[in-house]
């Protein structure tokens, strides 16, 4: 479980002291399923989601969710120049691509992340692990 505490653009007045301090909202991100990618049987240059990565995000305030582009963490061959990583995010009925900011309401939101990797050459047989970064603000 990843616990993120982040500042909001809000302030509150400390009792009796007249000091302004930033207010903080809390957000919790929990991985439900890490997702599964498989090579497209008709195109050996494409690796795509067959089961999405699933996260559960909880926040006590509205937050913006952003999923950054994926990168290869490990595999039998590295991503050659010209490789494209495509990410599609579905968060509580809101959809976007890598880099898009999706506004989430307070409470729990389930997030599904699908990925497609397109290489200029065929994938070598083996296990590949890709990672992506999830940000909230």
- Residue 6 forms part of a structural domain: no
* Predicted pLDDT of residue 18: 40
Q: Please give the residue range of the domain that contains residue 116.
A: 28-136
Residue 97 — pLDDT band, cuts 50, 70, 90?
Answer: very high
Q: Is residue 12 part of a domain?
A: no
53-92 pLDDT, tens digit each: 898 998 888 888 888 888 888 889 999 999 999 999 999 8
Question: What is the pLDDT at residue 23?
Answer: 52
What CATH code is carried by the domain that includes residue 101? 2.60.40
Q: Length of the chain in residues, anyone?
A: 137
Q: Is 10 part of any domain?
A: no
* 117 assigned to some structural domain: yes
Could you give the number of structural domains in the chain?
1
Residue 35 has pLDDT above 70, yes or no: yes
In the chain, what are the helix, strand and coil shares in percent, each to the nearest 5? 0, 65, 35
For residue 18, being part of any structural domain is answered with no
């Amino acid at each position: 479980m990843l616990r993120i505490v982040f500042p909001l653009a809000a302030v509150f007045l400390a009792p009796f002291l007249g000091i302004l301090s930033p207010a903080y909202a809390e957000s919790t991100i929990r991985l439900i399923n890490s997702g599964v990618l498989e090579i497209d049987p008709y195109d050996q240059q494409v690796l795509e989601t067959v089961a999405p990565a699933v996260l559960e995000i909880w926040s006590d305030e509205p937050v913006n969710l952003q999923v950054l582009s994926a990168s290869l963490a490990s595999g039998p061959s590295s991503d050659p120049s010209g490789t494209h990583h495509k990410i599609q995010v579905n968060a509580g009925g809101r959809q976007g691509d890598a880099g898009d900011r999706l506004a989430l309401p307070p409470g729990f939101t389930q997030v599904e992340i699908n990925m497609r990797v397109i290489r200029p050459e065929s994938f070598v047989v083996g296990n590949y692990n890709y990672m992506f970064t999830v940000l909230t603000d």
